[in-house]
Each structure stands twice: as C-alpha cells, then as structure tokens.
C-alpha cells in the first residue's frame, strides 16, 4: 500500500496515519483540502516526497470541492487552496514544488472548462505520485553501490516508504542493498522529539527482516568513534544549490561527528528536493514546532511544569561535511554548486524525453 493515494471510488485523499505507528495501522481519508493541509501540518504524513504528493492530491481535491462554474473563478479558488497547503510545512521544498507544478497545469489556457482543469489536475497529481515511486527505486539502487557486504549503516529519522509515496530515499538504499543479498546492519537513531526512527524506521526494517538496533540519539557519536559505523545515510527536506542540506533536527551533529571520525556521510536526495533558487542553507526556512513535543512523550510530561522549550524541526548541515549526495541520476560529489545544477538538468531532460 502507498503512503498517500487517491481513492477513485470516493474521490478522497487517503494516507497512512503515521502518528499511530507502530501500535496501530490506520488509513484515513480526507474530502476537504483544508483537512489535507491539517494532516500535513500535524504529521499524519511526513517526509518531503510524501508531503509533496499529499499536497498535489490536496490541490486536485480543492478543484473538485470548488463550486466554480467558470475557469477563472476556479483558478482563484485554487490559488487560495495553494496558499493554505503551502503554509502547512515551511521547510520541505517538495510541498512548494508539487503545488507549483500543478498550478502550472491548471493555468494552461488550452483548458477551456472547469471540468477540464479538474480532470487534468488529478491526472498530474497521480503522475507526480507514480514518478516519485520510480525515482526512489532508481535512486535506491544507485545508492546501494555505496554499501558493501557486512557494512553497518547509521540512519537518522525515517526515510523509507512512509516518507515517500513508496520505497524510500536513504532507507530505500538500505532496502536495495538487502535485496542484493548484502549482509548489512542498521543503527537506528531514535530521533527525538517525535521518535520517527524508533516508531517508523524500526517498524519498516522489522517488516522487511533487516538486521538493526535502535540507539539513543546521543549514542551515535560513540558508535562512530569506536569504528562501529561504516557509512551514514540520511534524507533531506531541502538541499540548497551549494550542497547545504536541511534535514530532521540532529542531522548536523551526525555529519560533524562523521567527518571527525572519517565516516562517509551521504544524504539521499531526489532532484525535486534540490532548491537551486537558494544559494546556501542559511536561506532555508526552519520550521519551529510547539514545545509540547519536547516536554511530553506520548502525552506524559517529562519536565517540570511551567518551563519553556525550543523545538526546531530541522537543522542545516553545511556542504563541507557532506561526502556526496545520492540522486536518481547518479551520485553527486563536490563541487556541489556545479554538479547539483547538472544533476537537476539531467533529471529534467530525462523527464522531457520520457
């Protein structure tokens, strides 16, 4: 089952409610784009590619919700819906990329009626989701070339099928290496404060029968210093033109410690997550979430009552700590500013050729 999908029988956006895992597996359906935006904001769905697909289907849903009877009125309604969806999570560039892609389709003047726009938007959203699966599969096998038989891989957050439409980014590389018969072991960061590593990555690895140990986030440095890690694989919610990587909070310190201990550090990044409009990571907006995620665990307080807390959801890893970046068109090495631009161009050319 895909993480996010359109139910053609009921015209709803469906997604796995990742807040319930690993205790309950539940698929929820939405018939209102405002609820899709809320689901993105409240992390029913998370992971940059999955957020992008959810937003795309959300906009297709908005077109069907609109009661507009002429094309221009529908476009005005879509612009409103696009703003609501874009506001749901500020860091993940795939959300903006997906919405902008669908709005370009919607504004095609060859579409004469509102129903033409509605039909084409759903087709485009479905195509975007299908492309995500194929891109991630291709990227996984490219990245698997970095994994040797017997390697121990350190992984942060969740980057598997749950973070995408299907298959995964960094965790997809691990799945591919496992399919190739390589004997691998994964050290899974718990990933405070929302525990995506403990809840989601462990669930995915267990489902696939891949060897792993869950570790506290603070233990990662110990395992690297003592030579128990061969490679670090992470995802990315936005990658700047110079190779700076915004990813789940805690990624930066992993990269620094990896560099200190000579451990290769590779983000696994579809080209849709590369933002060539941002020259460096300092320009990436960092979402700060509510302090309740830090001071409570599953609703139970772990700190004195009345204190304040800070909760940035992401941090930026400067490109000097990045060994290479795995994309669907190959592994990109420094100088990133030149080679990332080339990778994006190759990906775009391949899509146009297809």
Domain finish residue from 118, 137, 156: 137
Strand (E) or helix (H) holding 297: strand 296-297
Q: Do 232 and 307 fall within a single domain?
A: yes
Residue 92's domain is classified under what CATH number? 1.20.120.420
Q: Give the range of the structural domain holding residue 302, as residue numbers without chain letter.
A: 139-353
Strand (E) or helix (H) holding 248: strand 245-248
Distance separating the N- and C-terminal Cα atoms of the chain? 26
Phi, psi dihedrals of residue 219, rounded to the nearest 5°:
-90, -10
Q: What is the mean pLDDT of the chain?
A: 95
The pLDDT of residue 9: 94
Cis peptide upstream of residue 22 (ω within 30 degrees of 0):
yes
pLDDT category of residue 196 using cuts at 50, 70 and 90: very high
Taking the C-alpha atoms of residue 297 and residue 294, their distance in angstroms, rounded to an integer, is 7
Number of domains in the chain: 2
Q: Do 20 and 109 fall within a single domain?
A: yes
pLDDT category of residue 92 using cuts at 50, 70 and 90: confident
pLDDT category of residue 213 using cuts at 50, 70 and 90: very high
Q: Do 131 and 150 fall within a single domain?
A: no
For residues 76-100, average pLDDT: 91
Structure-block tokens of residue 230: 């061969």
Q: Do 341 and 233 fall within a single domain?
A: yes
Confirm whether 213 is a catalytic residue: no
Q: Do 111 and 223 fall within a single domain?
A: no
Pairing, β 265-267 against β 274-275: unpaired
* DSSP track, 155-185: E-S--BGGGSSSSBSHHHHHHHHHHTT---E
Structure-block tokens of residue 325: 């970046």
Q: Do 81 and 226 fall within a single domain?
A: no
Taking the C-alpha atoms of residue 91 and residue 252, their distance in angstroms, rounded to an integer, is 16
Alpha helices in 228-335 (DSSP H): 251-260, 292-295
Q: Do 185 and 59 fall within a single domain?
A: no
Taking the C-alpha atoms of residue 162 and residue 296, their distance in angstroms, rounded to an integer, is 24
Q: Do 160 and 246 fall within a single domain?
A: yes
| Contact of 86 with 80, CB cutoff 8 Å | no
Check pLDDT > 80 for residue 354: no
Q: Do 151 and 161 fall within a single domain?
A: yes
Domain finish residue from 86, 108, 137: 137
Closest CA to 65 of 102, 123, 118, 125: 118
Q: Do 30 and 123 fall within a single domain?
A: yes
The pLDDT of residue 258: 98
pLDDT tens digits, 39-68: 999 999 988 889 999 999 999 999 999 998
Q: Do 251 and 340 fall within a single domain?
A: yes
Angle at CA of residue 241, ends 45 and 263, nearest 5°: 75
Q: Do 111 and 248 fall within a single domain?
A: no
Domain finish residue from 113, 137, 161: 137
Alpha helices in the chain (DSSP H): 33-41, 48-65, 71-86, 93-106, 114-143, 170-179, 196, 202-208, 220-225, 251-260, 292-295, 336-353
- Catalytic, out of 132, 166, 217, 237: 237
Cα-based distances in Å from 128 to 93, 296, 343: 15, 37, 19
pLDDT tens digits, 12-29: 999 999 999 999 999 999
Cα-based distances in Å from 244 to 271, 272, 312: 14, 15, 17
Closest CA to 329 of 353, 305, 311: 353
Beta carbons within 10 angstroms of residue 190's beta carbon? 23
Residue 292's domain is classified under what CATH number? 3.40.50.10470
pLDDT tens digits, 104-147: 999 988 887 999 999 999 999 999 999 999 999 999 999 999 99
Cα-based distances in Å from 84 to 14, 90, 196: 19, 11, 26
């Amino acid at each position: 089952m895909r993480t996010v999908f359109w139910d053609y029988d009921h015209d709803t956006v469906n997604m796995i409610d990742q807040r319930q895992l690993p205790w309950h597996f539940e698929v929820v359906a939405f018939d209102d784009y405002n609820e899709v935006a809320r689901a993105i904001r409240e992390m029913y769905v998370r992971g940059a590619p999955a957020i992008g697909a959810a937003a795309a289907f959300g906009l297709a849903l908005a077109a069907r919700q609109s009661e507009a009877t002429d094309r221009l009125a529908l476009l005005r309604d879509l612009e409103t819906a696009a703003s609501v969806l874009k506001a749901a999570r500020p860091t993940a560039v795939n959300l903006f990329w997906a919405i902008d892609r669908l709005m370009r389709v919607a504004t095609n003047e060859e579409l004469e009626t509102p129903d033409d726009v509605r039909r084409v938007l759903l087709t485009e959203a479905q195509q975007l989701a299908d492309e995500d699966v194929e891109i991630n599969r291709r990227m996984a096998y490219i990245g698997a070339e970095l994994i040797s038989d017997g390697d121990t891989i350190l992984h942060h957050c969740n980057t598997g099928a749950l973070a995408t439409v299907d298959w995964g980014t960094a965790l997809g590389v691990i799945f591919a290496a496992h399919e190739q018969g390589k004997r691998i072991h994964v050290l899974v960061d718990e990933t405070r404060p929302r525990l995506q590593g403990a809840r989601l990555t462990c669930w995915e690895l267990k489902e696939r029968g891949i060897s792993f140990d869950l570790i506290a986030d603070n233990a990662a440095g110990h395992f690297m210093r003592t030579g128990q890690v061969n490679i670090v694989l992470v995802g990315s919610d936005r990658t700047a033109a110079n190779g700076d990587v915004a990813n789940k909070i805690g990624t930066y310190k992993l990269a620094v410690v990896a560099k200190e201990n000579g451990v290769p550090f590779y983000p696994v990044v579809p080209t849709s997550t590369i933002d060539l409009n941002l020259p460096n990571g300092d320009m990436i907006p960092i979402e700060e979430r509510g302090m309740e995620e830090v001071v409570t665990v599953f609703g139970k307080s772990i700190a004195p009552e009345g204190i304040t807390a800070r909760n940035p959801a992401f941090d930026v890893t400067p490109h000097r700590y990045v060994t290479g970046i795995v994309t669907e068109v190959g592994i990109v090495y420094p100088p990133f500013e030149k080679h990332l631009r080339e990778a994006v161009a190759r990906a775009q050319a391949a899509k146009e050729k297809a």
